[in-house]
Amino acid sequence: MDNLTYQGATAWMIRRDGSFFPVVQHIYGNPEDVEETLFAAEWLYERTRCRQTRRHIEAFVRMWGLQFAEETNGEALRNRIYRRMEERPYQFIIRQFADKIADIITQWKEQGGHTDEAMDINGYCRQVVLDLNEEFMRVRFGGKYHTEPGNRNLYFRISSENYNWSKVIREFDNRVCSQLHSEGFLVMVDEESAEVNPAIVKQRKYFLDAD
């Protein structure tokens, strides 16, 4: 496992291979909010092990960035994306990812700018959210959604449709319980993800294997 913990971590995103990544807040996309999903896509692009997920993200960010492209060169495109970022009262991507988007679009245009997309931007927005939820599980120590004083349980929130996380859960619990002095763990469906994909509730069939 890599990226194990940092001092005082209480929330993690856990990948299917067991690698876990400490976060301040759990990473989510929103199929109805492109910029919110861009934030998640930036995080996911560097951490996914799935080539298809990277292709989905590249298609998604290319569709979003093309609104600024027109006939501009790479530098002008970067500046247009920077201006959009500055117009927002919140940060949804950082400049390094804006540069990556500009590079993806520039390379695409150099290759002829032809593609047979399976979905429009809204479809890819939703797909990136589903890809994130399939590959990662959300875990928190001390509370389901917020860390609560005196709560020493681990909460595993599953968002994938058809994957048995039992082994990963046990490995994580064994690895961190001595550091956190946890008293037990609970496994549950991630409710926010279930709103996007109600089919994940069938994941409950695996919960007893993890208890």
Which tops the pLDDT comparison, 14 or 72?
A: 14
> Does the pLDDT of residue 22 top 80, yes or no?
yes
pLDDT exceeds cutoff 90 at 127: yes
Q: How far apart are CA 186 and CA 153, in angstroms?
A: 7
Would you state the pLDDT for residue 210? 44
Which tokens is 106 given?
A: 């520039």
How does pLDDT run across 36-66, given as a tens digit for each residue?
A: 999 999 999 999 999 999 999 999 999 999 8
- In this structure, are residues 160 and 190 in contact, taking their beta carbons and an 8 Å threshold? no
What is the rounded average pLDDT for all residues in the chain?
86
Work out the average pLDDT over 5-24.
Answer: 84
pLDDT band at 70 (very low <50, low <70, confident <90, very high): confident
Predicted TM-score (pTM) of the model is: 0.88
Residue 6's pLDDT band, with cuts at 50, 70 and 90, is very low
Give me the residue spans of the domains in the chain: 11-24+134-210, 34-130
- Write the CA distances from 194 to 74, 145, 172, 189, 197, integer angstroms: 39, 15, 23, 7, 5
Q: Check if the beta carbon of residue 160 is closer than 8 Å to that of residue 202.
A: no
Give the ranges where 16-144 is alpha helix by DSSP (H): 34-45, 51-69, 74-87, 95-110, 121-135
CA trace torsion 116, 119, 120, 126 (10° rounding) = -150
Question: Tell me: the pLDDT tens digits for 78-117?
Answer: 999 999 999 999 999 999 999 999 999 988 888 877 666 7
Which residues are CB-neighbours of 107 under 8 A, at least 6 positions away?
Answer: none
Q: Is the pLDDT of residue 128 over 90?
A: yes
Q: Given this model, what pLDDT does residue 203 score?
A: 64
3-state helix, strand, coil in the chain (%, to 5): 50, 10, 35
Q: Nearest 5 degrees, angle CA 171-CA 11-CA 55?
A: 80
